[in-house]
Chains A and B, each alone.
Chain A
Amino acid sequence: MSERIGTRIKIAALLLFSLGSILLSVGVGSVFISPGDTAAILWDALFHTGLPASIDPIYPDLILSLRLPRVLMAFLTGAAMALGGTVMQSVLQNPLASPYGLGISSGAGLGAAAVMVMGLSSGAVGALLLPGVSLLSGLFTVILVMGICTRLDRSMNNTAIVLVGMVFSLFLNAVMSLLATASPQHAQRINLWQLGSFSMKEWHEVVILFCAVLLCFFIFLWNSDKLDILTFGEEQAASLGVSLKSSKWLLLCAVAAVTGTAVAFVGVIGFVDLIAPHIVRRFFGSSHKRVLPACALLGGSFLTLCDLLSRTLTPPREIPIGAITALLGAPFFLYLYFVGKRRETGC
């Protein structure tokens, strides 16, 4: 019982931290708006309670049409990648697996790059076409990787999946670089987008990503028992009553959907998908009922804060978000992993 209460407190703390990071990120920028004012503006936008006279009339517009979509986009992308990473690691029983590693991110990226090169990425068509194509090519990559693995080894061996995924990922990245070289007028956009960016985000993008994240989150949560069991390996999972093939397909396709949508809007972002699950498991244990919500919140706030740094450290220029996540994530991850390991084994 006390353990359950402890988990609730930790989740509540994480929820507050997430809200705090969102409020902070919305407030900080070229113009500083205090968290109190930010909260008042958001409250007014939701419930039309009227604004205190002390708030500059430009602020609501600045927050609601510029900063908030960007911040929410960062949060949702973080949540999407972290969820994708968690599920991927459990399904493949490999703590080093991630959507990036299986080629989903690169596949989705290539799809989106193709749409850009064909000049279809602008306007209302692009708004739907870009995520659609990107999601489908992410899915297609998964199907291709798993298809090849099934051919190689009928039991869909997991080492093979990770290996083939890695090969695919490298190959697709190379194709993307070729594409960028072949069409110089799009090269800059493709290159920039390979590093990921949250600038110029629109509300409809936020809504689409929100729906994708919410849907996949519930699919994962609904399958949390299966995810727990799958971490013990395929033979054991099957003998406990999990039908391997259908579960794997459903879960990996959902991962492709949620990460593919995120990649379509913001570009290729790594690291969150790999590290968020590890950090969460250190504090919440491994049970997916706890790990999934905690991971979504942690991944979300981590990327929100990374984006805050990326646009405030060197104004007016932005540091690519991918650089920030790796710069912060890599040492932090090493610290947690090795210090944690040492404490666990007691040497």
Chain B
Amino acid sequence: MLSVKNVSCGYGGSPVVQEMSFSVRAGEILGILGPNGCGKTTLLKALSGLLPASGEILLCQKPIKGLSRLEIAKKAALVTQLSPVSFSYTVYETVEMGRYAHRSGLFPRTGERDRQIVLESLSRTGVSELRDRPVTTLSGGQLQRVFLARAFAQEPQIILLDEPTNHLDLGFQLSLMEDLRAWVKEKERCAVGVLHDINLALRFADRILLMDQGKAAALENAGNLDLSLIDKVYQAQIQDYMKTSLELWRSC
């Protein structure tokens, strides 16, 4: 569904992401891990067509360079980090915006099918009861669920996520990732998520792309990841830290 070949990109000057190649299959979640500044978010921007890149990015077999914003939006949705909202749309109106790319014609109208999809997306992330609440009154966790619902309503093949669980408490983090995983598995779609939390990535991603200074340090099934590589890339004793944490939990 997504294929990346020799992709380099950056913001002028030397490229932040260098010669990256991988592909993501239907029904798969790819988690991208790596220390701050290693190019995770830059890579995700290139995948969503927001940043020009050299090399080849194929979205459902089509080169992303030739696609308009509208065509990309029908194939790939983006969930960004939690950001504040300043205009008071209702939850329903916000999720309905996911249908924008699918409405066609000079004077597009929202039909019954659009309505059904919006309602289904709302219930998938458990925000049906909030549908008439202004988004400005929601908590961070609720807001991020609304944005995931909007991505579902977009009916994409791929959902790209940029640290979607930042600033959320653990309960919301887990339910957000569970909703995403259920969608990917049931609908045979795929997701690529830049994740901050190594535990969350190991738990919810099928494969892990470990990045180091713009390059792939490892690309492995989540179960087969060489944990010593993580210590090396993050330049910290991550394994020790995790094991100490586990012992603390056990002794509680």
Which positions in A face B, CB cutoff 8 Å?
3, 90, 93, 95, 222, 225, 228-229, 231-233, 235-236, 238-244, 281, 285-287, 344
* Size bin of chain B's contact surface: 35 or more
For A228, A235, A241, which residue has the most chain B Cβ atoms within 10 angstroms? A241
A240 CB to closest chain B CB, in angstroms?
Answer: 5
Which residues of B lie under 8 Å from residue A231 when comparing CB positions? Answer: 86-87, 89
A344 to B86, CA, bound (A): 13
- Given contacts A244-B69, A287-B89, could you give 14 more A-B pairs where the C-beta distance is less than 8 Å? A3-B132, A90-B87, A93-B86, A95-B86, A229-B100, A232-B94, A236-B80, A239-B73, A240-B101, A241-B70, A243-B68, A243-B70, A285-B90, A286-B87
| B73 and A241 form a contact (CB under 8 A) | yes
Report yes or no: B100 in contact with A240, Cβ–Cβ below 8 A: yes
Which residues does chain B contribute within 8 Å of A232, judged by CB atoms? Answer: 85, 87, 94, 97
B19 within 8 Å of A by Cβ? no
- Residues A228 and B97 in contact, CB atoms below 8 Å apart: yes
Report 27 cross-chain contacts, Cβ distance below 8 Å, ordered by A residue: A90-B87, A93-B86, A93-B87, A222-B107, A225-B97, A228-B89, A231-B87, A231-B89, A232-B94, A235-B50, A235-B80, A238-B50, A240-B73, A240-B77, A240-B150, A241-B73, A241-B100, A242-B69, A242-B100, A281-B88, A285-B88, A285-B90, A285-B93, A286-B87, A286-B89, A286-B93, A287-B89
- Cβ A285 vs Cβ B72 within 8 A: no
When C-beta atoms are compared, the residue in chain B nearest to A281 turns out to be B88
Supposing A228-B97, A285-B134 touch, asked if A239 and B48 sit within 8 A by C-beta, the answer is yes
- Residue numbers in B under 8 Å from A235 (CB-CB): 50, 78, 80
Q: Nearest 4 pairs between A and B by C-beta? A: A241-B73, A241-B101, A239-B78, A231-B87
Determine whether the beta carbon of A241 is less than 8 Å from that of B72: yes
Cβ of B150: which chain A residues have Cβ within 8 Å of it?
240
Contacts of B89 in A (CB 8 A): 228, 231, 285-287
* Complex Cα–Cα for A241 and B90 (A): 20
Expressed in whole angstroms, the minimum distance between the Cβ of A202 and any Cβ of chain B is 36
Which residues of chain A are within 8 angstroms of B121 by Cβ–Cβ distance? none
Residue of B69, B80, B87, B103 touching A281 (CB-CB under 8 A) = B87
Q: Across the interface, name the chain A residue whose C-beta is closest to B106.
A: A222
Q: Are A240 and B86 in contact (CB under 8 A)?
A: no
Would you give the shortest CB distance from B182 to chain A, in whole angstroms? 22
Q: B249 CB to closest chain A CB, in angstroms?
A: 37
How far, in whole Å, are A286 and B90 apart by their CA atoms in the complex?
Answer: 8
Please determine whether B134 and A240 come into contact, CB atoms closer than 8 angstroms.
no
> Is B23 close to A, CB under 8 A?
no
Question: Is A239 touching B77 in the complex (CB atoms < 8 A)?
Answer: yes
Chain A nearest CB, measured from B84 CB (Å): 10
Note all chain B residues with C-beta closer than 8 A to A286. 87-89, 93
B78–A344 CB distance below 8 A:
no
Nearest-neighbour CB distance to chain B for A161, whole angstroms, equals 16
Chain A residue contacts of B136, Cβ below 8 A: 344
Q: Is the CB of A240 within 8 A of B88?
A: no
* Chain A residues within an 8 Å CB radius of B107: 222
* A228 / chain B contacts, CB cutoff of 8 Å: 89, 93, 97
Which residues of chain A come closer than 8 Å to B72, judged between CB atoms?
239, 241
A104 to B71: give the CA distance in the assembly, Å: 34
The verdict on B76 contacting chain A, using a C-beta distance below 8 Å, is yes
Q: Closest CB of chain B to A52's CB: distance in Å?
A: 45
Could you tell me the distance in whole angstroms from the C-beta of A231 to the nearest C-beta in chain B? Answer: 4
Q: Which residue of A lies closest to B45 (CB)?
A: A235
B74 on the interface (CB 8 Å rule)? yes
Known contacts being A229-B97, A285-B134, is A239 close to B90, with CB within 8 Å?
A: no
Q: Which residue from chain A places its CB closest to the CB of B70 in the assembled complex?
A: A241
Interface residues of B in 111-139 (CB under 8 A from A): 132, 134, 136-137
Query: Chain B's nearest CB lies how many Å from the CB of A100?
Result: 20
Closest to B160 in A: A239
The answer for the CA separation of A222 and B49 in the assembled complex, in Å, is: 26
Q: Is the CB of B77 within 8 A of A225?
A: no
Binary CB contact string for chain B from 56 to 85 against chain A (1 if under 8 A, 0 otherwise): 000000000000111011101110100101
How far does the alpha carbon of A228 sit from the alpha carbon of B94 in the complex, in Å? 9
Which B-chain residue is minimally distant from A233 (CB atoms)?
B83
Residues of A within 8 A of B103 (CB): 225
Q: Determine the chain B residues whose CB is within 8 A of the CB of A236 once the complex forms.
A: 78, 80
